[in-house]
């Protein structure tokens, strides 16, 4: 959300960067112990997640467990159907948004529509939708229980769809050896996502489920997709939380305004020791390629040599660490004028009736702010 602050002198201060929106998704295996372990692990995060999306949550006598400072939303239990998905919304986040849960007449999928007049990532993004689904084996071969149009709907709002879809696909798990039925089951879902422009947020090949049996293979079952309106704000997909006792990972998704993301460190070419770097690179020897290359041996050979060269570059090239407070227009001249202005200002405060000192402080201030204005204009 956007905030406005005004300084004591009446000047409009720069608004702080919007707080990132974070979400955790996890399959609880209907276990209360897994549920408590997951929510207890949030103390390891800098801030609790704004929303927790659960699949297969624990249900006892038609009710889901509660947790301090979180409000639960889940499909109704009418007809004796247990909820297979649920949302837990953090209390401080709940006070800043209007929230509308939407149910689809079934327990394995639901949606949350979020709205705020201030905007989530910029003033124009006043709302977006989160869809949570737990799709299991369908009645027919090569099908899943949740229909395609419920997982990937056509919507005018930015949409995030996630859940345990129980499908395997080469784009999510490129190193897996697939069965024909796995491809036949997953292809319609990924084709639908592609047609509507949804982007997969998972890191390819990073497993989200590890079988507890000795013969089961790990896989990528917990998936997340963002529609084109939401994808520019996606910042991070990670699994920073410890094991909860489930065979699924607890996944953290982060969204924030691109303008306020800290830029990655960039090389500082001005401070690079070029003569030393040049001689170091000339002395670096690339190992010969494997005589009978395979895909794996070629990858290892390339990575080994690339890491060797990268290490030499990192050793001799310092980096600029850009932060939210960094000013690209800053220069040595502006720095010197700031020092002169601060010095003159301190001197004028010693004797406030000395006209010469006051005039010197005013002149230094004028020169300092003119230099800033010129540096911004010439950038």
Which of the two residues, 1 and 286, has the higher pLDDT score? 286
Record the tokens describing residue 178, joined without a space. 């697939």
| Cα–Cα separations (whole angstroms), residue 188 to 113, 131, 149, 168, 184 | 26, 18, 11, 12, 8
Mean pLDDT value across the chain: 88
Q: In terms of C-beta density within 10 A (0-12 exposed, 13-18 middle, 19 or more buried), how is residue 11 classed?
A: exposed
pLDDT surpasses 90 at 124: no
Phi-psi region of 309 (alpha: psi -120 to 50; beta: other; left: phi over 0): alpha
Locate CATH 3.60.10.10 in the chain: 5-260
Question: How does pLDDT run across 179-215, given as a tens digit for each residue?
Answer: 999 999 999 999 999 999 999 999 999 999 998 887 8
Q: What is the pLDDT of residue 122?
A: 78
- Cβ neighbors of 140 (< 8 A, separation 6 or more) are none
Question: How does pLDDT run across 301-348, given as a tens digit for each residue?
Answer: 998 999 999 988 988 898 877 666 677 788 889 999 999 999 999 988
Q: What is the pLDDT of residue 38?
A: 97
Question: How does pLDDT run across 249-300, given as a tens digit for each residue?
Answer: 999 999 988 755 666 778 888 888 899 989 988 888 889 988 888 888 888 8
Question: How does pLDDT run across 131-151, given as a tens digit for each residue?
Answer: 999 999 888 888 899 999 999
Q: Angle 23-183-220 (CA atoms, 0-180°, nearest 5)?
A: 30
Question: How does pLDDT run across 12-47, given as a tens digit for each residue?
Answer: 444 455 568 999 999 999 999 999 999 999 999 999
**Topology adopted by domain 5-260:** Deoxyribonuclease I; Chain A (3.60.10)
């Amino acid at each position: 959300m956007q905030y406005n602050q005004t300084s004591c002198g009446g000047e409009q201060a720069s608004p702080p960067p919007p707080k990132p929106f974070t979400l955790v998704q996890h399959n609880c295996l209907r276990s209360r112990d897994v549920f408590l372990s997951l929510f207890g692990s949030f103390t390891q995060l800098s801030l609790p997640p704004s929303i927790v999306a659960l699949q297969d949550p624990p249900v006892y006598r038609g009710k889901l467990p509660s947790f301090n400072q979180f409000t639960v939303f889940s499909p109704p239990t009418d007809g004796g159907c247990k909820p297979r998905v649920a949302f837990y919304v953090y209390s401080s986040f709940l006070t800043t948004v209007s929230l509308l849960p939407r149910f689809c007449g079934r327990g394995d999928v639901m949606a949350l529509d979020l709205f705020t007049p201030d905007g989530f990532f910029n003033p124009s993004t006043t709302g977006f939708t989160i869809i949570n689904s737990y799709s299991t084996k369908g009645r027919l071969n090569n099908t899943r229980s949740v229909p395609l149009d419920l997982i990937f709907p056509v919507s005018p709002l930015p949409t995030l769809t996630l859940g345990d879809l129980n499908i395997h696909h080469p784009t999510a798990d490129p190193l897996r050896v697939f069965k024909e039925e796995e491809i036949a089951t997953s292809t319609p879902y990924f084709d639908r996502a592609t047609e509507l422009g949804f982007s997969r947020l998972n890191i390819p090949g990073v497993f989200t489920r590890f079988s507890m049996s000795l013969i089961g293979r790990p896989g990528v079952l917990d998936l997340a997709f963002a529609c084109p309106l939401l994808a520019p704000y996606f910042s991070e997909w990670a699994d920073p939380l410890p094991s909860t006792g489930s065979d699924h990972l607890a996944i953290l998704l982060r969204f924030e305004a691109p303008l306020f993301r800290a830029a990655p460190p960039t090389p500082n070419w001005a401070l690079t020791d070029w003569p030393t770097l040049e001689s170091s690179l000339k002395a670096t020897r690339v190992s010969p390629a494997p005589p009978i290359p395979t895909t794996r041996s070629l990858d290892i050979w390339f990575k080994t040599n690339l890491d060797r060269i990268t290490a030499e570059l990192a050793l001799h090239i310092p980096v600029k660490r850009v932060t939210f407070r960094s000013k690209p227009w800053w220069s040595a001249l502006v720095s010197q004028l700031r020092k002169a202005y601060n010095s003159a200002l301190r001197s004028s405060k010693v004797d406030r009736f000395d006209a010469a000192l006051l005039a010197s402080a005013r002149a230094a201030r004028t020169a300092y702010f003119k230099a800033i204005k010129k540096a911004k204009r010439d950038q």
